[in-house]
Structure 1
Amino acid sequence: MNKATFLSIPLLLLFGCSSTIESEESVVQNMERVDNHTGLINHYKGHLEKRPEDVQIMQELAKVYFDKGDIESAKFYADHLLNQGVKNSELLQLRGQIHSQDGEDSLALKRYKSSIEMGNNSGEIYVLSGISYCNTDQFSQAKNAFNQARLKGYNDVAVKNNLAVVYLAQRQYDDVISLLVPVYQENPSNQKVRANLAIALFKVGDVYQARDLLEGAFTDSQVAQISRKLHR
């Protein structure tokens, strides 16, 4: 009787801990699913109050701040970790994204390269690299990076739209149209595709089709932004 009683106690403790971990993971996943950034921030900060040196929690917090658009807070926590000697491919990618948001694409590329060297072989890291290459007028490298992302199974629509941005920057408007017309036909609700295709159509003088693309799909401020791109 006593033996059975003693055996049941650690089993209860074991299953109790497992249930708590699963419950916590479920809470995080549910908040991530609905982009509840405020909830996630409060969740991770609650953990940091108990374990202020928890590197993984702090890195997750930095990522959530970035996803929320609070670049300053993301930078604060990411830099703290880097200054503490923390180095992993995810943190380096995040710091690169922060650099890019701050207009520091040359620094972003260095972080992305380091992330790849540490084993980050995702399609996303190549898309991010391609964007920074494009922003620094390294168009050949940008195309190579986007094509690498495509080979790694990254979303075709996103890759083609990014390639179209490279062609726009190089004034290759016919290439933009050839690339994006089939994409638009299959994804007519994608506003990024519509905007880039409209810009290319305007540039080659096909004003009526361009206006048809924009009509009813964009706000006045978005149309004004597209117009500014046309006059570059």
Structure 2
Amino acid sequence: MKPFRFYGAISALLFLSACASAPAEHSFDADAMTKAGNYQGLVDHYKAAWLESPSSPERTIVLVKSYMMRQDYESASFYLQYLHDQGMMSQDSVYLSAQIAFHRQQFVQATEAAKRAIAMGKDDAETYLLLGIVQGNQSKFAEARNAFTTARIKGCDEATVKNNLAVLLLAEGKNNQAIDMLLPINHQAAIHNKAQVNLAIALIREGRHAEAESVLTPLFSKDEVATFIHTVAGGGEA
């Protein structure tokens, strides 16, 4: 069986952070390149800027984020570690190290880094959301639930929190509670497709195949929906 994996808004959070952090002294349309999927172009631009001033924490951070957007976590880790080795560690750089560790499935290190970032003052919704996702991947469901609750109190959007809480419930076999959690947000315009898939899984597990089909139909072809329902109902993995 594949390891339990979490659905969350990490990629979206990284996208927003990377766009917001572009150095002001370099006039550059990072948003346009991101929308075009030209992540290598982002890396090339920020690498050139970094080479002009490799001791700059700001330029190192945006370079690290550009590598993360390209999903090159080894390079992101290398340049972030270089920054830390120079004695330049901040709550934001430690938070990035937690993100990198999570994407490399280094969950113990990710937990430690997220908690360190919180202790250093980055105790916002974003950090608690990441902490909850990491703890969920370690099957520490009570701790993950507490982290998500804190993220919610600190302003994380309801759909993201409810989806991740529902994944905890699914992992615990509490399908009806997961359905109750996800149904109210099913028709929200901003809901992530994965939340709808989670809802469908819970419905299928409870034998409510017709309802699951109606949830999945806007996302997949008729044959794909049938295969998905058959796989989940049969105890396999979708």
Q: TM-score, normalised by structure 1?
A: 0.80
**Contact between 1:195 and 1:226, CA under 8 Å: does it hold in 2?**
no
Shift of 1:225: 11
Shift of 1:79: 2.1
1:190 counterpart residue number: 192
- With over 3 angstroms needed to count, the CA separation of the structure-2 counterparts of 1:102 and 1:23, relative to structure 1, is closer
Return the alpha-carbon distance in structure 2 between the equivalents of residues 103 and 225 of structure 1.
Answer: 29
Query: Aligned letter for 1:231?
Result: G
- With over 3 angstroms needed to count, the CA separation of the structure-2 counterparts of 1:76 and 1:228, relative to structure 1, is farther
Return the alpha-carbon distance in structure 2 between the equivalents of residues 135 and 174 of structure 1.
Answer: 22
Give the superposed CA RMSD: 2.8
- Residues 185-221 of structure 1, C-alpha deviations (whole Å, 9 max, x = no match): 3348631121000000011111121122222413759
- With over 3 angstroms needed to count, the CA separation of the structure-2 counterparts of 1:24 and 1:158, relative to structure 1, is same
Query: Aligned letter for 1:45?
Result: K
**Count of aligned positions:** 211
Structure number with greater Rg is 1
Q: TM-score, normalised by structure 2?
A: 0.78
1:149 counterpart residue number: 151
Return the alpha-carbon distance in structure 2 between the equivalents of residues 191 and 26 of structure 1.
Answer: 32
**Contact between 1:126 and 1:145, CA under 8 Å: does it hold in 2?**
yes
- Residues 77-134 of structure 1, C-alpha deviations (whole Å, 9 max, x = no match): 1222223332111111111111111111121000000000111022110100000111
1:67 maps onto 2:72 in alignment: no
Return the alpha-carbon distance in structure 2 between the equivalents of residues 224 and 25 of structure 1.
Answer: 47
Shift of 1:228: 6.5
The one of the two structures with greater contact order (alpha-carbon pairs below 8 A, sep at least 6) is 2
Query: Aligned letter for 1:138?
Result: K
Shift of 1:22: 5.5
Shift of 1:46: 1.5
1:231 counterpart residue number: 236
Name structure 1 gaps, 5 residues minimum. 1-20
Query: Aligned letter for 1:144?
Result: N
Identity %: 31
